[in-house]
A and B are shown apart, each in its own frame.
Chain A
Amino acid sequence: EPEVTQTPSHQVTQMGQEVILRCVPISNHLYFYWYRQILGQKVEFLVSFYNNEISEKSEIFDDQFSVERPDGSNFTLKIRSTKLEDSAMYFCASMLGLSYEQYFGPGTRLTVT
């Protein structure tokens, strides 16, 4: 069964460093999402991406964040200058169409020290 994959599973970085979280969505899916979950808190929507552009972003998704689909298979989330409060589990999801199910990856745990 096709699945969404994410790498790395755990990333440790120092405050102020740039990180890139990688996701490979399911190949024929058209909608792509990033969510995050700070330990002990809700899963929060960050950004949605469709037709090679951001379709919606949350207040969390400020200028430090960017997304890219560089080669038609990968979907990346970049944090330019990490802060301690960016420490969280980051989930990628993809969806075939608006009436379909979102499929989630296993997540990347980001730890900012």
Chain B
Amino acid sequence: GNSVTQMEGPVTLSEEAFLTINCTYTATGYPSLFWYVQYPGEGLQLLLKATKADDKGSNKGFEATYRKETTSFHLEKGSVQVSDSAVYFCALSEGNQGGKLIFGQGTELSVKP
């Protein structure tokens, strides 16, 4: 079945450091890919998405490129801020499955000043 694997956390970085959170997926068809973020005490919020191969999703300085050849959707940010501290979830959705999301295990990011 479909699945998503993320790098394990927690990840601790200093402010202005470069961030990469790895995400790979297994899918039978052509899924859409997502990154969700969960700030403390809040629900999951969509950070960015890509719906087809080679698409790049971007938002708030975060980027991820849909790589079909490596089945990956790694999240990157050039310079993290303390306010980026949160849990990040990679997810996929198959278009013919009613929109359900399949999530990775989440990666906790902690950014220190």
Which residues of A pack against B, CB within 8 Å? Answer: 4, 31, 33, 35, 41-45, 48, 50, 55-56, 91, 93, 95, 98, 101-102, 104-107
Contacts and interface: CB of A to CB of B under 8 A. Distances in A.
Contacts of B104: 42
A102 B99 contact: yes
A78 B65 CA distance: 39
Contacts of A104: 36, 43-45
A55 B98 contact: yes
Interface residues of B, number: 21
Contacts of A93: 44, 101
B106 interface: yes
State the majority secondary structure of interface residues on A.
Answer: strand
B13 interface: no
A102 B44 CA distance: 9
A31 B99 contact: yes
Interface string B93-105: 0010111111111
Given A104-B43, A106-B41, A106-B43, A42 B106 contact: yes
Contacts of A105: 43
A98 B99 contact: yes
B66 interface: no
A-B interface, 10 closest residue pairs, ranked by CB to CB distance from nearest = A104-B43, A43-B103, A104-B44, A106-B43, A55-B98, A45-B100, A42-B105, A101-B46, A48-B98, A105-B43
A103 B55 CA distance: 22
B106 A56 contact: no
B43 A33 contact: no
Interface string B102-113: 111110000000
B25 interface: no
Contacts of B105: 41-42
B69 interface: no
19 contacts: A4-B43, A41-B105, A42-B103, A42-B106, A43-B89, A43-B91, A43-B101, A43-B106, A45-B101, A45-B102, A48-B98, A50-B98, A56-B98, A56-B100, A91-B43, A104-B45, A105-B43, A106-B41, A106-B42
